[in-house]
Chain A
């Protein structure tokens, strides 16, 4: 199956979403990402029992931190799908890209541009 999804997305492969830590999400923003989303297996279907539940909690905490520091928690999101749902992967990619476009660039980049100007 060949599916198109927006080319602004950089895919980072991990063995399980349980590997994704808060620091990975935060560092992405620190380095200028406009949004981050984690795509995991369906809840209850984790090969490592609860990797995706851990990821969900970490995404929730990352959201809270990003809200507190003024970056905006809505820039992080978790999606769940089964490995047979390729079209959903593409659909989530479009959804997330649209949402980030609406929110605009990472405010850190904006703050620095303003300063440089």
Chain B
């Protein structure tokens, strides 16, 4: 999923001050799971902001809504008939949701309420780690199911580098060396010979960000 973090309250106050009618919009998907922008976070933020402004003697309208997703037209359409009641929307969706909403509601400022961090997994409640950088050419079949693009600090395809020490990466002794993990898993799978001993050719990075903004077109499902 997409992992995001709540923005500090101080930053959000700076973003929204100056607007008098604000809609806080949560998203029911990834940001709900990582407890950054779901219905609960919308409620807490709305209550806190209302009190902040009340305490300043200002009467600001702050309403709440949580959409199924903010990265799909059909759910974003659900606020079309109320959007004109607001001077601004504070979206707690990932950066995709914020932008998609901004494209749809061109004359309403749509502000981000979270910092979108990475594609990752929930290791345990309250602890998320990165797993994928969406490089567009997945090589997990050859790397024992461990991604060196997202988990090796140098994105090495033929690792490890000389800095790998006791299974840890040279950037931080608390970070696993991705290549140590790859070798350990390939050993366990009995695939060291086939997968590790062969040099991986230069990767085509044009499907990564190096090729500019990307798109996926599926003629078979387009109508």
Contacts and interface: CB of A to CB of B under 8 A. Distances in A.
A and B bind: yes
Interface of A: 21-23, 26-27, 29-30, 65, 68-71, 107-108, 111-112, 114-115
Interface stretch (B50-58, B95-103, B132-140): B50-58
Contacts of B57: 111-112, 114-115
Contacts of A71: 51, 55
Contact of B51 (A21, A22, A23, A26): A26
Contacts of B49: 69
B54 A111 contact: yes
Given A107-B55, A111-B56, A69 B48 contact: yes
Contacts of B50: 30
A59 B55 CA distance: 21
Interface stretch (B23-31, B39-47, B146-154, B172-180): B39-47
Contacts of A114: 57
B79 interface: no
A44 B43 CA distance: 30
A15 B50 CA distance: 29
A111 B9 CA distance: 21
B10 interface: yes
B127 to A, nearest CB: 14
B52 A69 contact: yes
Contacts of A65: 9, 44, 48
A112 B40 CA distance: 27
Contacts of A108: 51, 54-55
11 contacts: A22-B44, A23-B47, A26-B44, A65-B44, A68-B9, A68-B48, A69-B13, A69-B48, A71-B55, A111-B57, A115-B57
A26 B48 contact: yes
Contact of A23 (B10, B43, B54): B43
Given A68-B48, A69-B13, 7 more contacts: A68-B13, A69-B48, A71-B51, A112-B54, A112-B57, A114-B57, A115-B57
Contact of A68 (B10, B43, B47, B54): B10
Contacts of B55: 69-71, 107-108, 111
Contacts of B52: 68-70
Nearest to B52: A69
A30 B40 contact: no
B125 to A, nearest CB: 10
A87 B44 CA distance: 34
Contacts of B43: 23
Contacts of B48: 26, 65, 68-69
A56 B54 CA distance: 27
Give the interface centre of A21, A30, A114 by most chain B CB atoms within 10 Å: A30
Contacts of A27: 47
A7 B48 CA distance: 28
B201 to A, nearest CB: 49
Nearest to B49: A69
Contacts of B44: 22-23, 26, 65
A29 B51 CA distance: 8
A1 to B, nearest CB: 37
